[in-house]
Chains A and B, each alone.
Chain A
């Protein structure tokens, strides 16, 4: 599945490429002829619960043979190169997977060694990675007493400890409070940008993926719905968002009188952008009516709109 590259175009080798990937379980088709490619960077994999995200990850790890179709991860065919793939990837499962009577340090060191790191290197890497995910003194305590946030950090640390080229993160923000969620998202962004490790992260929450991903793949009912860069999803929509402190109705009336297409949307007014003069009309209207302007910005699309 090597990509044909023109001599002039800059060619990036995809880290994941699937073609007609199909997975049928008795009575259920989890994946239906899925074809997409993933470039290096942070990629979101979106779908409702049961859309086939976890199944896809298991297939890409070479743990589950697909019913039909093929896939390559880091240039290795999943059918023949499963062991090679698993040397170079990390996996953070969606569910709880930590033994309660073992400390984070003990556990992560052990898994580093299982990944092939010599004992000394395993200890160093485990200490490094646990620090990066933000686990400090508590790493010496048994994991049974950890909060959900701490457990998620250990799960992430074990996926990174052998310095993989690609990590699969399955619903990493599940069960986290808003602060923990922000921390986790920032960490994932850092893994992609600073650590230089590609990330495939699943979520059923589009908003959070919009914040951290370069690309988003959307599957629904096992089928590919769309695969684009985040900027393509969220490009300017040709509308302006206007928010004023009070007198929203008066401003809407005045703009409508001048032939500007305007409608209220929550606390905002949504104004169709007809040209440069639209900005002037809004500015003049606000000034003439003596209103306090809080916000004037280009409205952007949201990935959610794909589902509408």
Chain B
């Protein structure tokens, strides 16, 4: 056998053994790579990469339009970008949340982690942070692209004589507020999707469950809003936004982060409801983290 030539005997490891921060970072990186299919073979990359491309295309297209139209109206509202493209984000959520929250349970790898110096809380936190990062990249990169497009095109717009071109400071402020919105969206959507995926470890089930909760909650809110707007009850229509993840985050954008109310239609959350929407977001995030930790602790024993 050829092994005899290479076999130099067993060598012990006497190098450093790093602590908790290193372990959590290793878990975070591995999970973040997994979301985009890195290290998981070519087929696992197709779907997430497609969704990334679909998220970037409208932003790129909009910049192209902006360069022809040369009016600020042609620029997509930053804070609405994720909302307009929520179907793509929902597909990304439904297909990739199970990668983070179901795979380890389905293939029973959790005990391999918990038999190492990894606590359940660190394990969940690393997974959560990885998925939040992935979503943030998915949403914030195209918004950033839009803003860069604006900055490049601003001079041309003014030369062209367009009215109401915002100042760089104003628009950058608006962009930063939109980024905060993106982060909040990533946090809420991760909580919601990972939790559902963690409780549906069977292949395909998780995808269907995330999609179902997203679509059904949207339809329910839509029905409530159509009926209440018909009755002239604008408040109820506004509050109904609490019941679906995208609108929950949008409530904070509209009422706390100073996003444009005009583009949001009749069923915008009522004035002063911002803190309630923010509390709703925090409740979703906190509850989800607690339940995820409990779920994985059980899967690891």
Chain A residues at the B interface, C-beta cutoff of 8 Å = 58, 61, 63-64, 83, 86-87, 89-91, 93, 95-103, 106, 110-111, 113-118, 121, 125, 128, 131-132, 134, 142, 158, 162-163, 190, 194-196
Specify which chain A residues have a CB less than 8 angstroms from the CB of B301 in the assembled complex: 58, 63-64
Answer whether A158 and B10 are a contact pair too, CB < 8 Å, given A106-B39, A116-B19. Answer: no
At the interface, is chain B mostly helix, strand, loop or mixed? loop
* A63/B108 in contact, CB under 8 A: no
Known: A97-B109, A106-B39. A117 touches B13 (CB 8 A): yes
Q: Once bound together, how far apart are the Cα atoms of A188 and B13, in whole Å?
A: 19
CA A113 – CA B22 in complex, angstroms?
8
Given contacts A100-B107, A111-B116, contact A117 B41 (CB under 8 A): no
Question: Among the listed stretches B23-31, B87-95, B179-187, B229-237, which one makes contact with chain A, having 4 or more residues with CB under 8 Å of it?
Answer: B23-31
**Contacting residues, chain B, for A89 (C-beta < 8 A):** 115
Q: Is the CB of A121 within 8 A of B11?
A: no
* With known contacts A97-B109, A101-B40, A110-B30, A86–B13 Cβ distance under 8 A: no
Please give the distance in Å from B52's CB to the nearest CB on chain A.
19
Q: A195, B111: Cβ atoms under 8 Å?
A: no
Smallest CB separation, B240 vs chain A (Å): 41
- How distant is B144 from chain A, measured CB to nearest CB, in Å? 29
Minimum Cβ distance to chain A for residue B135 (Å): 22
Asked if A98 contacts B109 (CB within 8 A), the reply is yes
* B83 CB-CB contact with A under 8 Å: no
Using CB atoms, name the residue of chain A closest to B23: A114
Q: State the CA gap A91–B116 with chains docked (Å).
A: 9
Given the complex of chains A and B, what is the CA–CA distance between A91 and B119 in angstroms?
16
Decide if B22 touches A116 in the complex (CB within 8 Å): yes
Chain A to chain B: the 6 pairs with minimum beta-carbon distance, closest first: A113-B26, A91-B115, A163-B13, A116-B17, A195-B10, A101-B40
Taking CB atoms, residues of chain A closer than 8 Å to B44 are 101
Closest to A143 in B: B107
Given contacts A58-B301, A99-B107, A118-B16, contact A158 B112 (CB under 8 A): yes
Cβ-based interface call for B295 (8 A): no
Q: Is B199 an interface residue (CB 8 A)?
A: no
The answer on a CB contact under 8 Å between A86 and B115 is: yes
* Interchain CA distance A63-B110 in the complex, whole Å: 12
Measured in the bound complex, the distance between the Cα atoms of B120 and A63 in whole Å is: 11
Given A111-B116, A142-B41, check contact A99 B26 (CB 8 Å): no
Contact with A along B30-71 (1 / 0, CB 8 A): 100000000111011000000000000000000000000000
CB contact under 8 A between A114 and B113, given known A93-B108, A128-B11, A163-B12: yes
Cβ distance A178 to chain B, nearest Cβ, rounded Å? 19
B6 at the binding interface (Cβ < 8 Å): yes
In the assembled complex, the Cα of A146 lies from the Cα of B111 at a distance in Å of 21
With A86-B115, A97-B111 in contact, do A121 and B13 touch (Cβ < 8 Å)? yes
Which residues of A are found within 8 Å of B108, using beta-carbon distances?
93, 95-97
- Could you say which of B15, B26, B40, B114 contacts A102, with CB atoms under 8 Å apart? B40
Question: Nearest chain A CB to B227's CB is how many angstroms away?
Answer: 46
